[in-house]
Structure 1
Amino acid sequence: MFLSRSDYSDLSGGDTRAHRELSDEAFLGQLLIFEKHLATAAATVGVIDGAQLTAAHDAIEDFDLDVAVISRASASGANPAIPIAKALKAEAADPAGIHPGATSQDAIDTALVLCLKAAGVPLQELLGAVQNLLVQLCRQHRDTPMIGRTLGQQATPTTFGAVAAGWLEGVAGPAAELRQALADLPVQYGGATGTLAATYPHGLAIHDELAGLLDLAATPIVWHTNRYPLIRVATALAAVAGGVRKIAGDIVWLSASEISELREAAPGGSSAMPHKANPAAAVACDGYARRAPALAATMLDAMDSRHQRGVGSWHAEWPTIRELAATTASAVTRLHASLDGITVNTSAMARNLGQAATSSQSAGHAGELVDAVLDTWKEN
């Protein structure tokens, strides 16, 4: 059963596939995945034997993942890996296969990485769907003239296809950065101070085997206080949120009653004004995306990891980056809902263009820009 991080925030976003991978239950579950594959890796290189591996796997598979119990038990050590490892060792017939050579940060960082990669799959699907809708608008309205607007004022003509092409570029770049940042996420296995001393001389072999089992990168080898792998994901998520928020803002403005150039397929109503057709999905997109910059800023602030273990900075990352991924996923989902089936009022565009005291010649060159953007998008 999906335990939502926040029923309202997650469910009102629509698609919750990414959110399922970011809940507390999913995060703690990934700690168990880490422990299971760590035991396998240790057995593969000969640090533990077959009986110890079986004992470890049996204890992990039989473990009762109670989020509330683990959360309360985490208070004394300030992280959930400690009570989980302690409980597993107590349950295992032979505890040698539980947490061999690892420190709590190894388990938690790897669990975070696994959560992000799992959430990234549906998020990237949603981003692909948004880009496909934008491509359709580019092609359909390549030559649909409309007035361009700069600094809130009517400027020179453009086409709606060119506007959509700008939207596409603003999303495609961050989406590609996010895809690469997620693909490059590494395993964490360094031991107490990152020296792998507890499993010497097999530490590096376990590290590499564990990376392969979890389908994670093997470098950087120790990143206990090098937070760049998570920073890459955080900044890419914030950039994605910014890209979709820009589109949502334009949709809201172009849906205004006195402009009426766009209309969502299923506009929202009003509790007090029944005549309204609010661009509700775009408004919700803006609301979700608006939270991303501050969350990304917290991740940047947490780069201050002192000596060989962050003091509070590391702890701040666990909810922050999951919340950043969740709010970005909701923003993308709501933008998709806004764009899917959106009505482009070409008559209103022509009317508003006709009211502008400017030449319409510049709109004729916009189609070439649309073609260039679509060619670039295909290459990527």
Structure 2
Amino acid sequence: MSRNTYSDVASGEVAVHGHLSDHAFLSAILEFEGALADAAAETGHITPEAARDAHAALDSFELDVETVAAASAAGGNPTIPIVAELKKRAGSPAGVHVGATSQDAIDTALVLCLRRAGRALDGLLDEVEALLTQLATTHRDTPVMGRTLGQQALPTTFGVIAAGWLEAVRTSARHLGDTLEALPVQYAGATGNLADTHPFGIEIHDRLAADLGLASRPLVWHTNRLPLVSVGLAAAQVAGAARKIAGDIIASSATEIAELAEATPGGSSSMPHKANPASAVACDGYARRTPGLAATLLDTLDCRWQRGTGSWHAEWQTIREMFATTASAVNRLHASLDGLRVHTETMAQRLTGDNTGHAAEITDLILEGVSQ
């Protein structure tokens, strides 16, 4: 399921984006409510009958994104109208939203969406890494002029350049994976002390985390936004690594250099002679949006008392957009690298020396490190 045409469909594969849609987000709120009813029943805080009533209400609830969105205006978040409708549908409301606050449902829903999107993105990154590994291996000994500060410098190899691209992608991808795995459940109640479910609250919390496959600590992060901000910044690093590669491909595809060319370049509406590195250009365009999104996420660390006033609300779209733009950048990078034409003859013509130093050995060491 895509969210919009340019950001999603035009970038290629939309598996990541489907996990970030409004429908996926609101569905994850419902998933949280079901898992919470189960955890509360497992600890004995509510009866099995109350949990069954909650699930019956969930089963009968037909999610309509526009209806929920319109009803969200009054309270400022979508959990409020969803929970109100579930309580109306349940024979007994005791099993619905047990001891929870809106932020518990929304934060956990965001975590579930990001974890799923992250798994799909990891598959795309694996494919990019495979293409970069092939480039580095194939061109281990291919000499090319190095360029620093926009000018020709000394010879190096295209293999070590591609290996450097690979190392950055792999490092940022691993960091993103680590932050995603560390994402915790959110369940702490109105002011973060689980007062409504005492003395079962912490046990419910930990069972809920286990049932959803999420980390159980930090125990309360209502105003400690580091878990989501860390993931967002890690995604921005992936986008930055992709943008670096795209920028190099664009520069090396320039008519005056012509050392690289995309397998299926883009055309022009007015200049038929053009063979634009369109995929790399699109990658750059998507990735270029992530620094601003990262700045917004960093700003959300400023939370007042026990609930962010606007800062928390700013995260819901920003973190999903960060992942979507990163995925779109990776999509287009993959398209740019797939079948990338390396014009070794042109590279050789521009050489002003033949000493490539330890480039080949460095390439081997990078490839060895990445494979571990």
Query: Counterpart in 2 of 1:360?
Result: 354
What's the CA shift string for 1:208-255, capped at 9, x where partnerless?
000001000000000000001011101101111100000000000111
Q: Which residue of 1 aligns with 2:104?
A: 106
CA contact (8 A) 1:190 1:196 kept: yes
Match of 2:281 in 1: 283
Q: How does 1:148-227 map to 2 (within 5 A)?
A: 148-227=146-225
Alignment of 1:134-153 (within 5 A): 134-153=132-151
Matched residue of 2:190: which SS?
Answer: coil
Matched residues in 2 for 1:274 and 1:55: separation? 65
1:378 equivalent in alignment to 2:357: no
Contact 2:7–2:324 under 8 Å retained in 1:
no
Q: Distance in 2 between matches of 1:84 and 1:261?
A: 57
Structure 2 counterpart of 1:315, one-letter code: H
Q: Which amino acid aligns with 1:41?
A: A
- Map Cα deviations across residues 266-320 of structure 1 (whole Å, 9 max, x no partner): 1101111111111000000000000001101100001001100000000000000
User: Is the 2:159–2:363 contact (alpha carbons within 8 Å) kept by the matching residues of 1?
Assistant: yes
Instruction: State the AA in 1 paired with 2:248.
Output: D
Secondary structure in 1 aligned to 2:3?
A: coil
Q: Give the alignment partner of residue 270 of structure 2, picking from 254, 268, 272.
A: 272
TM-score, structure 2 as length reference? 0.99
**Residue among 345, 364, 372 paired with 2:343:** 345
Rounded to whole Å, the distance in 1 between the matches of 2:301 and 2:59 is 35
Q: Partner of 1:147: helix, strand, or coil?
A: strand
Query: How far apart are the structure 2 equivalents of 1:247 and 1:167?
Result: 6
For residues 189 and 104 of structure 2, what CA distance do their matches in structure 1 show?
7
Distance in 1 separating the partners of 2:328 and 2:6: 11
Aligned 1:1-380 pairs, distance under 5 A: 2=1, 4-353=2-351, 356=352, 359-361=353-355, 363-379=356-372
Measured in 2, the distance between the counterparts of 1:269 and 1:251 equals 17
The AA in structure 2 aligned to 1:369 is I
Taking the aligned partners of 1:226 and 1:184, their CA distance within structure 2 comes to: 14
1:307-357 CA-partner distances (Å, limit 9, x unpaired): 00000000000000000000000000100010011111101111122xx3x
Shift in Å, 1:364: 4.5
The one-letter amino acid paired with 2:271 is M
The answer to whether the 8 Å contact 1:175/1:240 transfers is yes
CA–CA separation in structure 2 for the residues paired with 1:298 and 1:36: 32
Deviations 1:126-185 (A, max 9, x none): 111111111111110000000000000000000000100111112111111100000000
Across the two proteins, how many residue pairs are aligned to each other? Answer: 372
SS in 2 for 1:12: helix
Provide the secondary structure at the position in 1 that maps to 2:164. helix
Within 2, Cα distance between the matches of 1:44 and 1:208?
A: 11
Query: 2:140 corresponds to which letter in structure 1?
Result: R
User: C-alpha separation between the residues in 2 aligned to 1:36 and 1:312?
Assistant: 27
The residue matched to 1:315 in structure 2 has which SS? coil
What is the distance in 2 between the residues matched to 1:110 and 1:9?
25
* 3-state DSSP of counterpart to 1:156: strand
Structure 1 range deviating more: 218-227 or 161-170: 161-170
**Aligned partners of 1:259 and 1:352 also within 8 Å:** no
CA distance, structure 1, for counterparts of residue 346 and residue 256 of structure 2: 10
Structure 1's unaligned 5+ residue stretches are none
TM-score (norm 1): 0.97
CA distance in 2, matches of 1:360, 1:292: 40
CA contact (8 A) 1:21 1:116 kept: yes
Output the CA distance in 2 between the equivalents of 1:60 and 1:304. Answer: 35
**Contiguous gaps of at least 5 residues in structure 2:** none
Give the RMSD, CA atoms, in angstroms.
0.8
* 3-state SS in 1 of match to 2:7: helix
Counterpart of 1:344, as a letter, is V
Counterpart residue identity of residue 245, structure 1 = R
SS in 1 for 2:11: coil
- Identical aligned pairs, as a percentage? 60
Which sits farther off after the overlay, 212-221 or 165-174?
Answer: 165-174
